[in-house]
Structure 1
Amino acid sequence: MRSLPARRSAAAVLLAAGAVLATAVPAFAHVTVQPGTAQQGGYTAVAFRVPDESDKASTVKLEVTVPTDHPIASVSTQPLPGWTATVDKTHLDTPVKTDDGDSVTDAVSKITWTADATGKVGPGQFQEFKISFGPLPKDTDKLVFKALQTYDDGTVVRWIDEAKQGQPEPQHPAPTLTLTPAVDAAAAAAVSTPGASRDGAAVAAAKSDDSTARTLGVVGIVVGVVGAALGALGVIGGRRRSGTPAS
């Protein structure tokens, strides 16, 4: 039979595990942007993943606010059966320059997806709402997309709270896309194939050593042939001086 301290330790472990699960489960129900990272200055495609958290109601609308403090010149939605996407734009005080040098004076500020009778997201289900956009800003390390999720019973869940570093995650965090500095092609190749530079240097060194060895071998053969020829000439000359006929 287990001792009292052992039973207390086991109970403490179970309570700790239960606390971890209790805090972890809600995280799976958040509205998120997938993937969660992209490179600054580039174009990318992401999906807003929306789970239905209700026991009885279905999700029928999603509104996503696109930040205009770091405006994006081009935003397009991917068709989704059972849903209609509408795009709202806002006038920019400072136009955005495109890669072609054109100026964009109006940028997308909100995207709204509305379900028909066949597109509802039921309890225990989720849906992904995809967009393609860019170029992504270079002057910030994240984009926060505040979102509103509407159920067919009239309930609206506001995913608008911005997570703060060093603080607990809010109950309804806004989907956030982390932006990372762009990496040039050479650096990306080196990162994606660790040791490639060292291996390349080793191969180059091996080739250099092999070429050097071959060159020295050829030189040695030539020197040997020349030495043998000179030796033969010396023998013949000596015989001639001594009057000994050459064989």
Structure 2
Amino acid sequence: MRASRLTRPTPLTRTTRLAAAAALAAATVLAAATTASAHVIVDPSSVPKNATDRTFAFRVPNEDDTKSTVKVEIDFPTDHPVPSALVAPVPGWTDKITTTKLTTPIHTDDGDVTDVVSQVIWTGGQISPGHYQDFTVELGALPEGTDQVVFKALQTYSDGNVVRWIEEPQAGQPEPKNPAPVLHLTAAAADGDSAGAATPAPSGGATAAPTATATAAAAAAKADASDSTARGLGIAGIVVGVLGVLAAAAGVLLGRRGRTGTSA
């Protein structure tokens, strides 16, 4: 009889297996959550439709464990073009701005706009593994006749691999694998609340407002706090789940020991 019992798994072995399975499941969930959140975004992600002279940061995280990001391309929409945009310099990077001529001019308070920014490409710098970089632009006005502005981002790694963040998220549908950065336009704000802090461009032909870097830093800090809170809650949920599994396994172990003592 004893030889027979020795060939069967002991309760402790089964508990260990349950704990290992729970840990593996937790690691899988955590990895999936991390991967899902690591994509190119525009921050802030929503503003009133009548907002003007607002600064936005395209945040580009490096997802590769060994390769660096060496090129970033942001394509502006052509169906709802942005009337005006200024690009802030990014230390270590060189930007190339492409404009396109509109077949139908955009009417603004400052006159008709016929040429708009259609693409910005940053090269020359690097985003190393485990880091991100904010690429800042100031939009003088937002397009009319739409509730969102969809940008497309292409991220090139040092090995030549290109990740295309170009899939437009659909309401009520799961987030696509490579979602495009989307700026949501909310109801127009009351007069006096729509304009951002507009700063004249410095002399010498520079295209960026001096406060762009500070504004981007504040936006980045806000996004970091939000991301940290969400991830913290997610990890806490995983830990609670693992502890629940271990508690259930311990209960099974004690129950089996009690039955064994009664049988004896």
Shorter chain as denominator, the TM-score bin is: 0.5 to 0.7
In 2, Cα distance between the equivalents of 1:155 and 1:103?
A: 40
Q: Unaligned stretches of 5+ in structure 1? A: 189-247
Specify the SS of the correspondent of 2:65.
coil
In 2, Cα distance between the equivalents of 1:187 and 1:175?
A: 25
Residue 175 (str. 1) matches residue 181 (str. 2): yes
Residue number in structure 1 paired with 2:221: none
The one-letter amino acid of 1:158's match is R
Specify the SS of the correspondent of 2:31.
helix
Once the two structures are TM-superposed, the CA of residue 92 in structure 1 deviates from its matched residue by 0.9
The structure with the larger Rg is: 1
Q: What aligned pairs does 1:8-47 form with structure 2 within 5 A after superposition?
A: 17-18=26-27, 20-43=29-52, 44-47=54-57
Structure 1, residues 188-219: CA drift from partner, whole Å, max 9, x if none? 9xxxxxxxxxxxxxxxxxxxxxxxxxxxxxxx
Specify the SS of the correspondent of 1:48.
strand
Once the two structures are TM-superposed, the CA of residue 17 in structure 1 deviates from its matched residue by 4.7
TM (norm. structure 1) is 0.66
The answer to whether the Cα contact below 8 Å between 1:59 and 1:120 also exists between their aligned partners in 2 is: yes
In 2, Cα distance between the equivalents of 1:15 and 1:57?
A: 27
Q: Structure 1 residues 185, 7: CA separation in 2 closer, same or farther (over 3 Å shift)?
A: farther
Specify the SS of the correspondent of 2:95.
strand
Which of residues 83, 86, 95 in structure 2 aligns to 1:76?
86
Q: Unaligned stretches of 5+ in structure 2? A: 1-10, 195-264
In 1, Cα distance between the equivalents of 2:171 and 2:162?
A: 27
In 2, Cα distance between the equivalents of 1:52 and 1:159?
A: 13
Specify the SS of the correspondent of 1:26.
helix
Residue 121 (str. 1) matches residue 127 (str. 2): yes
Q: Structure 1 residues 17, 71: CA separation in 2 closer, same or farther (over 3 Å shift)?
A: same
TM (norm. structure 2) is 0.62
The one-letter amino acid of 1:42's match is A
Instruction: Kindly indicate whether structure 1 or structure 2 has the higher relative contact order, using CA contacts under 8 Å at least 6 residues apart.
Output: 2
Residue 110 (str. 1) matches residue 116 (str. 2): no
Q: CA RMSD in A?
A: 2.9
Structure 1, residues 77-127: CA drift from partner, whole Å, max 9, x if none? 011111111111111111011222x11111111111112xxx311111110
Once the two structures are TM-superposed, the CA of residue 13 in structure 1 deviates from its matched residue by 7.1
Once the two structures are TM-superposed, the CA of residue 15 in structure 1 deviates from its matched residue by 7.0
